Homo-oligomer: A and B are copies of this chain.
Amino acid sequence: MEARRDVFQAIADPTRREIIGMVAGQSLNLNSIAGNFGMSRQAISLHIRILTECGLITVRRQGRERICEARLDQLNEVSAWIEQYRRHWERRLDSLESYLDQLKKQRQDGK
C-alpha cells in the first residue's frame, strides 16, 4: 500500500474524476462532496487523500471543516504525455480521410 502516487493513476478512477469535476467549479468541504456519492464518507475521504497526495487538490482546514480546492496544473503531466502522440493519431485520421475522399471521387468518376 501507499505505493507510487502519480496523476495517471489518480485520474484512472471514475469516482476521483467526478470529485475533480465537483471541486473544479467551487471549493467544497469533504462532507458535501461525499453527500453526492452512494458510498461512505470514509471511502470519499480516501479518494481525496489520494488526490491530495498527487497534488491535484489541496485541503485547508477552516474550523472543523476541510475545504477541498482543485489544483489542476498537475494534469499538465498527462496532457503533455498525450500531446506528444497527437500528431501521430491525427495523421492516421488524415490519411483515412484522404482515403475516403479518394474512394468517393472514384465512385463518382465511375458513375
Contact = CB atoms under 8 A, between A and B. Distances in A.
Interface of A: 8-9, 11-12, 14, 17, 20, 24, 70-73, 75-76, 78-79, 81-83, 85-86, 88-89, 92-93
A89 B20 CA distance: 12
Chain A interface, >50% SS class = helix
Contacts of A83: 79
Contacts of A73: 89, 92-93
A19 B78 CA distance: 16
Nearest to A11: B8
A7 to B, nearest CB: 10
Q: 7 shortest A-B CB distances, which residue pairs?
A: A12-B12, A72-B89, A73-B89, A9-B12, A8-B12, A72-B85, A75-B82
